[in-house]
C-alpha cells in the first residue's frame, strides 16, 4: 500500500459530492482568476495558457494503484490548487479515468475558459461540471474575481451558456456571496437573470466560512443566504457550512465512509498534510475527513506546528489549520 500520493487526495467528505477523491491537475496556484475569497491564497500571476502543467500518466498510475487498494468514492473530482481546465490534457485524463473505473467524474472549475471550444470538448466528457458565477456585471466580477486581462464576465456567461447547450451531464453552478459586494437587491436580480440564462441543473450558494486570500471578507449569515436562495428560485441550495455543530453531525454520518477511507491509506499524518495543502480545515473537518479522534488529530497538528509546516487562523471562534506553502 502506497502512502505517498502526489496527485490524489482524500477521499474527503464534500457537502456537494458526498465522498470525493480529489485529483490535482494544476500546481499551486495556476489560475485564470485571483478571487478575493480564495482559500489557497493569492494568485501571483493569473494565466490563460493551457498546457500540461501536470503529466497525466503518473496521475492515472496513482489512481490505478488506489483502485487496486480498494478506493471507493462517490466522485473522482478534478480540481487542483488552481484552475483544472488549464491542463491541456484534461480530456485525455477523463478518458483514462473512465477506462479504469465507473466512479463518476466531476470537475470543479471557475468556468472562465468555457468560451473555448477545446475546453468545452474536454469538459463534456465529465459527469458533473461545477462552475462558479459570483457576479452579474463586469464591475463586480473585477472586484470579486480579479480575472486575467483577457477574461470578462461577458465571455464567462457566454461560455457557460454555450456549454449548457452542448453538455448532457449535470451542471451545478456555485455562487459565492460576500456581504456588501454582491448582496444588494439589484445585484441579486442580475445574478438571478444570469442563472436563468445559463439554465444549470442546480445552484449552490456559499459564503466566506473559511480563511480567505483577502482578510476580513464579510460572510453572510445562514438566514440571509437562505433568504437569497429563496429569491433565486427552487434550484438553489445553501452549501456553506458555518457551525461546528453541523460539522460534528457530519462526522457521525460518514463513519462508514471513513472506514472505507482508512482501508486505502496508512498514513494519517500525510493525509492530513495533503488535506491542509488544499484548503483550510477546522479540527472537526480533519476528524471527519480522516476518520480520526480529536486526540490523534491534535497530535499530528502539534507535530506539524512544531515543524513550522502548518499555521492557524481563527474565524468567528473556529480555528482553521492550513499548510504553509
Ligand atoms: S477560488 Fe478558485 S478560481 Fe478563484 S482564485 Fe482560487 S483557485 Fe482560482
Q: Is the CB of 81 under 6 A from ligand 1?
A: no
Using the CB atoms, write b or e for 81-93: b if 16+ within 10 Å: bbbbbbbbbbbbb
Same structural domain, 136 and 208:
yes
Pocket of ligand 1 contains residue 35 by CB under 6 Å: yes
- CATH assignment of the domain containing 12: 3.20.20.70
Q: Per-residue confidence at 260, pLDDT binned at 50, 70, 90?
A: very low
Is residue 150 domain-shared with residue 274, that is, in the same domain?
no
Nearest atom in ligand 1 to 81's CA: 7
pTM over 0.85? The answer is: no
> What is the count of structural domains for the chain?
2
State the cell numbers at 130. Answer: 461545477
Identify whether 2 is part of a domain. Answer: no
- For residue 61, the CA-to-ligand 1 centroid distance in Å is 27
pLDDT over 90 (residue 188): yes
Confidence of residue 253 (pLDDT cuts 50, 70, 90): very low
Cβ–Cβ < 8 Å for 13, 19: yes
* Count of helix runs (H) and strand runs (E) in the chain: 12, 11
Quick one: cell of 54? 501536470
Please check whether residue 27 lies inside any domain of the structure: yes
Residue located nearest, by CA, to atom 1 of ligand 1: 38
User: What is the per-residue pLDDT for 245?
Assistant: 38
Ligand 1 close to Cβ of residue 217 (< 6 A): no
Give the separation between CA 244 and CA 57, rounded to whole angstroms. Answer: 40
Per-residue pLDDT for 254 more than 50? Answer: no
Q: What percent of the chain has pLDDT over 90?
A: 59
Could you give the CA distance from residue 265 to residue 11 in angstroms, rounded to a whole number? Answer: 10
33 CA distance to ligand 1 middle (Å): 6
What is the tens place of the pLDDT at every residue in 113-125? 999 999 999 999 9
Same-domain status, 185 and 209: yes
* pLDDT tens sequence across 24-47: 999 989 999 999 999 888 988 999
Please indicate, yes or no, if residue 3 is contained in any of the structural domains.
Answer: no
Q: What is the pLDDT of residues 196-236, one digit of tens each?
A: 999 999 999 999 888 888 887 888 988 999 999 999 999 99
26 lines ligand 1 (CB under 6 A): no
CATH number, residue 259: 1.10.10.10
Q: What is the rounded CA–CA span in Å between residue 44 and residue 296? A: 35
For residues 233 and 275, membership in a common domain is answered with no
- Nearest CA among 60, 61, 79, 69 for reference residue 21: 79
**Residue pLDDT, tens place only, 85-98:** 999 999 999 999 99
Domain containing residue 191: 8-242
Assess whether the C-beta atom of 212 lies below 6 angstroms from ligand 1: no
Distance 82 CA to ligand 1 centre (A): 6
As a whole number, mean pLDDT of residues 256-285 equals 65
Using 50, 70 and 90 to split pLDDT, how confident is the model at 59?
A: very high
Average pLDDT over all residues of the chain:
87
Residue matched to cell numbers 489549520: 321
Report CA(44)–ligand 1 centroid distance (Å). Answer: 12
What average pLDDT does range 171-192 have in this prediction?
96
- In this prediction, residue 231 carries a pLDDT of 95
Q: Of 242, 260, 275, which one is at a domain's C-terminal end?
A: 242
* 62-93 per-position pLDDT tens digit: 999 999 999 989 999 998 789 999 999 999 99
- pLDDT at position 263, please? 34
Give residues with Cβ within 8 angstroms of 276, minimum separation 6: 304, 310, 321, 322, 323
In a domain, 1, yes or no: no
Please count the CA atoms within 13 angstroms of the CA of 163 that sit on its side-chain side. Answer: 35
Q: Which of 27, 40, 278 to mutate to test the pocket of ligand 1 (most atoms within 8 A of CB)?
A: 40
Domain boundary among 203, 227, 242: 242
pLDDT higher than 90, residue 243: no
Residues 214, 301: one domain? Answer: no
Please check whether residues 28 and 137 belong to one and the same domain.
Answer: yes
Q: Are residues 203 and 304 in the same domain?
A: no
**Residues of 158-179 as b/e, b for ≥16 C-beta within 10 angstroms?**
ebbeebbeebebebbbbbbbbe
Q: Compute the distance from residue 76 Cα to the ligand 1 centre, in Å.
A: 19
- The average pLDDT across 98-116 equals 98
| Residue 205 main-chain phi, psi, to 5 deg | -105, 135
Specify if 173 maps to a domain: yes
Joined together, the cell numbers standing for residue 121 give 470538448
**Distance of CA 262 from the midpoint of ligand 1 (Å):** 30
What does the DSSP 8-state code read for residue 85? G
- What is residue 97's predicted lDDT score, i.e. its pLDDT? 98
| Same structural domain, 141 and 262 | no
Kindly give the residue spans of alpha helices, DSSP state H, lying in 167-319. Answer: 185-198, 222-232, 244-253, 255-262, 268-278, 283-290, 294-306
Strands (DSSP E) contained in the chain are 8-14, 18-24, 75-79, 105-108, 128-130, 170-177, 202-207, 236-238, 281-282, 310-315, 318-323
How far is CA 324 from each of CA 172, 180, 276, 294, rounded to the nearest angstrom? 31, 30, 9, 22
Ligand 1 site-directed mutation target among 24, 26, 28, 38, most atoms within 8 Å of CB: 38
Cα–ligand 1 centroid distance for 257 (angstroms): 28
Compute the distance from residue 45 Cα to the ligand 1 centre, in Å. Answer: 12
The number of the ligand 1 atom at minimal distance from the alpha carbon of 32 is 8
Cis preceding-peptide flag for 11 (omega within 30 of 0):
yes
CA distance from start to end of the chain? 27
**Structure confidence at residue 193 (pLDDT):** 97
Amino acid at each position: 500500500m502506497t502512502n505517498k500520493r502526489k496527485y490524489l487526495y482524500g477521499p474527503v467528505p464534500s457537502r456537494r459530492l458526498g465522498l470525493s477523491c480529489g485529483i490535482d491537475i494544476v500546481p499551486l496556484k495556476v489560475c485564470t482568476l485571483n478571487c478575493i475569497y480564495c482559500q489557497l491564497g493569492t494568485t501571483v500571476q493569473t494565466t490563460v495558457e493551457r498546457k500540461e502543467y501536470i503529466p497525466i500518466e503518473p496521475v492515472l498510475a496513482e489512481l490505478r494503484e488506489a483502485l487496486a487498494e480498494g478506493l471507493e468514492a462517490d466522485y473522482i473530482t478534478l480540481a487542483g490548487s488552481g484552475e483544472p481546465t488549464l491542463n491541456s490534457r484534461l480530456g485525455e485524463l477523463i478518458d483514462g479515468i473512465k477506462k479504469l473505473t465507473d466512479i463518476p467524474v466531476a470537475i470543479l472549475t471557475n468556468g472562465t475558459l468555457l468560451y473555448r471550444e477545446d475546453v468545452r470538448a474536454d469538459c463534456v466528457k465529465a459527469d458533473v461540471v461545477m462552475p462558479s458565477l459570483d457576479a452579474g456585471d463586469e464591475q463586480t466580477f473585477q472586484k470579486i474575481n480579479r480575472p486575467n486581462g483577457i477574461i470578462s464576465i461577458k465571455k464567462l456567461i457566454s461560455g457557460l451558456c454555450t456549454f449548457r447547450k452542448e453538455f448532457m451531464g449535470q451542471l451545478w453552478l456555485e455562487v459565492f456571496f460576500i456581504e456588501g459586494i454582491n448582496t444588494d437587491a439589484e445585484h441579486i436580480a442580475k445574478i438571478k437573470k444570469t442563472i436563468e440564462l445559463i439554465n444549470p441543473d442546480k445552484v449552490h450558494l456559499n459564503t466566506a466560512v473559511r480563511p480567505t486570500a483577502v482578510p476580513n471578507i464579510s460572510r453572510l449569515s445562514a438566514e440571509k443566504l437562505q433568504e437569497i436562495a429563496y429569491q433565486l428560485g427552487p434550484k438553489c441550495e445553501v452549501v456553506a457550512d458555518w457551525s461546528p455543530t453541523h460539522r460534528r453531525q457530519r462526522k457521525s454520518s460518514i463513519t462508514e465512509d471513513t472506514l472505507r477511507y482508512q482501508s486505502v491509506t496508512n498514513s494519517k499524518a500525510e493525509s492530513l498534510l495533503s488535506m491542509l495543502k488544499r484548503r483550510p480545515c477546522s479540527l472537526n473537518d480533519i476528524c471527519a475527513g480522516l476518520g480520526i479522534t480529536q486526540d490523534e488529530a491534535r497530535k499530528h497538528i502539534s507535530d506539524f506546528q512544531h515543524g513550522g509546516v502548518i499555521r492557524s487562523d481563527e474565524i468567528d471562534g473556529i480555528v482553521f489549520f492550513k499548510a504553509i506553502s
